[in-house]
Chain A
Amino acid sequence: MMGNPRETILNLALVLLLAAIPLVATGMGEPFYVTLATRMAILALAAVGLNFLLGLGGLVSFGHAAFFGIGGYVAGIAATHAFNAEPLLFGLPGTNQMIVIWLAAVLLCGLAALAIGVISLRTSGVYFIMITLAFAQMIYYFAISWPAYGGEDGLSIYVRNGFPGVNTLNGLHFFYLCFGLLLAALAVFSVLRNSRFGAALEASRQNQQRLAAVGIAPFRVKLVAFAISGMITGLAGALFADLNRFVSPSMLSWHMSGELIVLIILGGTGRLFGPVAGAMVYVLFEFYLGGVTERWQFFLGLILLGVVLFARGGVVGLIAGKARHG
């Protein structure tokens, strides 16, 4: 169905490019670029989550930092308790096992998304944008005023959490762990998009009246999509905390939510690899322009303006043409 050969080639090229950067960097003895590529993969993963909601469902959540941050805090809090050998909840210990942390982050973000979605999905348009922002800001201020876990100063993870059979302290290994999860999330995105649920979700973006008129309640479809979306972004948050070995309220701030939206628009809204292209461009910009001028975000703004005005499909749309829906 999605038989657009140019898009397939582009997607493949992006995968290979992202996979190759850390290898080349390691070969050249430049570990910093490994970190940069890991940052790209994790932000792309977070944006895959948002792209599911925004790209397929047309729902502009301006509060996805909530899930990114919750995922981050799950990693930080679990690791801190494990490090200090203090029980966490109901006598349960903390953990430094990524698998447990990921499961907890995904589960918690799914629940949080259901709670936020039940309320915010009753609105639409600008109201939806504002109410998702409001929820995320509530969590942000909660984190700031919660001294047990660092409050405003955030929380350090002294030793990066572990994964069986992988030396997560090695930047290259950690990259491939994140990269693997990104590929898995892209596969999930693709399967879901082509499924019956995906059809209902895309139809709810195109025409809710039509969806209801064939007998599918749009609210339930959107709520499930919101939960799936939050779960993927939450997983990225847990990885991001481990990458930086630090989590702070800034992961929950509206800047973060905006960044994810920007990534998607840059890369190509609703396109499978839009978040990947967007994250790569964004992180490169942040790094190179950020090195040249403090005001790099001004130039990013200009580029974004250009994309919105002249290249609505973002990088993927520019190279691979318009999306086809079968």
Chain B
Amino acid sequence: MAEPILDIRNLNKSFGALKATDNVSLDLRPGEIHALIGPNGAGKSTLIHQIAGSLRPGSGTIRFLGRDIGALGVPERTRLGLGRTFQISSLAPDYSALRNVMLAVQARQGTSFRFVKAVMRDRSLRDPALEALERVGLAERAHVSAAELSHGERRQLEIAIALALGSKAFLLDEPMAGMGPEGSKALTTFLDGLRAEAPILLVEHDMDAVFALADRISVLVYGRVIATGTVEEIRHNPDVRQAYLGEEG
């Protein structure tokens, strides 16, 4: 078995009396899509936040590329190669789609403390940014401000940013939410190919997408992983059927 890219051990996080993350262990291996499913409020986003560094875990370890990243902040983790998207899109609203991605390109290059050259004429920023937009199918909307993009387009833009960062692992928090059947289908195809570039920890409610994409699935209920396994194993797991899939029949 290949060494995992991302390895989470015994993670705990409480909000007051609420255990949002309850002794969670899971890993992400090269080339795989590991889906994280569970009902609303199960703690999926909270887990993503802790991996990305925007929330501090109560206890437990997170290793990324063999390195304990628990003490690092969000920017450092991104620079190491953790590319995340937010469940609720988080973009620079005044900036065009293109400038949002260009910001990611300059961040990746580590050139944000350059003060003279104008960014808009800078092909070393524009070209990679346009390429990332093209990959997610947003190239025609490059010059529309993020605030004016549709909900689904903003989800795509978030992914384009993660691509432009050259991420070594993707943490995607409900990328299909609000996308419509067409968009979901296109994104499913896209993510299917993306896993060869870097593994994906995919939080998603769209079960068609999850069953189509996932190499492994972990089921989170009340902050706890109640099962991890292949699509078939999860489909037939009685605990999962009762606790979660049962709701959908």
To the question of whether A and B form a pair in one complex, the answer is: yes
Residue positions of A touching B, CB distance < 8 A: 1, 191-192, 194-200, 202-203, 206-207, 209-217, 220-221, 224, 323, 325-326
B98-125 contacts to A, CB under 8 A, are 98-100, 102-104, 106-108, 111-120, 125
Q: What separation, in Å, do the CA atoms of A200 and B95 have in the docked complex?
A: 11
- From known contacts A1-B120, A214-B161, A326-B99, infer whether A191 and B115 are also in contact, taking CB-CB under 8 Å: yes
A195, A203, A212: the one contacting B92 at CB < 8 Å is A203
B73 near A195 (CB under 8 angstroms)? no
B104 near A214 (CB under 8 angstroms)? yes
Q: How many residues on B have C-beta within 8 angstroms of the other chain's C-beta atoms? A: 41
- From known contacts A195-B116, A197-B114, A197-B115, infer whether A206 and B74 are also in contact, taking CB-CB under 8 Å: no
Q: Would you call B94 an interface residue if the criterion is a C-beta within 8 Å of the partner chain's C-beta atoms? A: yes
Q: Would you call B168 an interface residue if the criterion is a C-beta within 8 Å of the partner chain's C-beta atoms? A: no
A206 near B112 (CB under 8 angstroms)? no
A196 near B92 (CB under 8 angstroms)? no
Q: Would you call B61 an interface residue if the criterion is a C-beta within 8 Å of the partner chain's C-beta atoms? A: no
Q: Would you call B205 an interface residue if the criterion is a C-beta within 8 Å of the partner chain's C-beta atoms? A: no
A215 near B95 (CB under 8 angstroms)? no
Closest Cβ of chain A to B168, distance in Å, is: 12
B188-203 contacts to A, CB under 8 A, are none
B106 near A207 (CB under 8 angstroms)? no
A215 near B75 (CB under 8 angstroms)? yes
Closest to B105 in A: A214
A212 near B115 (CB under 8 angstroms)? no
B54, B96, B108: the one contacting A326 at CB < 8 Å is B96
CB contacts (< 8 Å) of B108 on chain A: these are: 214-215
CB contacts (< 8 Å) of A200 on chain B: these are: 103, 106-107, 112
A196, A202, A203, A209: the one contacting B111 at CB < 8 Å is A196
B113 near A197 (CB under 8 angstroms)? yes
Q: Would you call B169 an interface residue if the criterion is a C-beta within 8 Å of the partner chain's C-beta atoms? A: no
B113 near A224 (CB under 8 angstroms)? yes
Q: What separation, in Å, do the CA atoms of A325 and B76 have in the docked complex?
A: 28
B103 near A199 (CB under 8 angstroms)? yes
A195 near B99 (CB under 8 angstroms)? no
B73, B96, B104, B145: the one contacting A212 at CB < 8 Å is B73
Q: What separation, in Å, do the CA atoms of A194 and B120 have in the docked complex?
A: 8
A206 near B92 (CB under 8 angstroms)? yes
Q: What separation, in Å, do the CA atoms of A214 and B112 have in the docked complex?
A: 11
CB contacts (< 8 Å) of B165 on chain A: these are: 214-215
CB contacts (< 8 Å) of B115 on chain A: these are: 191-192, 195-198
A213 near B102 (CB under 8 angstroms)? no
A217 near B73 (CB under 8 angstroms)? yes
CB contacts (< 8 Å) of A194 on chain B: these are: 118-120
Q: Would you call B91 an interface residue if the criterion is a C-beta within 8 Å of the partner chain's C-beta atoms? A: yes
A212 near B112 (CB under 8 angstroms)? no
CB contacts (< 8 Å) of A203 on chain B: these are: 92, 95, 103
A191, A211, A213: the one contacting B116 at CB < 8 Å is A191
A325 near B95 (CB under 8 angstroms)? yes
Q: List 19 A-B contacts (CB under 8 A).
A: A191-B116, A191-B118, A196-B119, A196-B125, A199-B112, A200-B103, A200-B112, A207-B90, A207-B93, A214-B78, A214-B108, A215-B78, A221-B112, A224-B113, A323-B94, A325-B94, A325-B96, A326-B98, A326-B99
B79, B99, B161: the one contacting A199 at CB < 8 Å is B99
CB contacts (< 8 Å) of B93 on chain A: these are: 206-207
Closest to B98 in A: A326
CB contacts (< 8 Å) of A212 on chain B: these are: 54, 73-75, 78
Q: What separation, in Å, do the CA atoms of A214 and B96 have in the docked complex?
A: 16
Interface centre among B95, B108, B125, B143 (most CB of A within 10 A): B95
- From known contacts A200-B106, A202-B95, A325-B145, infer whether A216 and B90 are also in contact, taking CB-CB under 8 Å: no
Q: What separation, in Å, do the CA atoms of A39 and B97 have in the docked complex?
A: 42
Closest Cβ of chain B to A195, distance in Å, is: 5
Closest Cβ of chain B to A55, distance in Å, is: 12
Closest to A203 in B: B92
Q: Would you call B47 an interface residue if the criterion is a C-beta within 8 Å of the partner chain's C-beta atoms? A: no
Q: What separation, in Å, do the CA atoms of A202 and B104 have in the docked complex?
A: 14
- From known contacts A192-B115, A207-B92, A325-B96, infer whether A199 and B78 are also in contact, taking CB-CB under 8 Å: no
Closest to B92 in A: A206
Interface centre among A209, A214, A221 (most CB of B within 10 A): A214
Closest to A207 in B: B92
Closest Cβ of chain B to A192, distance in Å, is: 6
- From known contacts A200-B103, A214-B104, A326-B120, infer whether A206 and B95 are also in contact, taking CB-CB under 8 Å: yes
Closest Cβ of chain A to B198, distance in Å, is: 15
B95 near A196 (CB under 8 angstroms)? no
Q: What separation, in Å, do the CA atoms of A199 and B78 have in the docked complex?
A: 18
CB contacts (< 8 Å) of B125 on chain A: these are: 196
CB contacts (< 8 Å) of B73 on chain A: these are: 212, 217
Q: What separation, in Å, do the CA atoms of A194 and B117 have in the docked complex?
A: 8
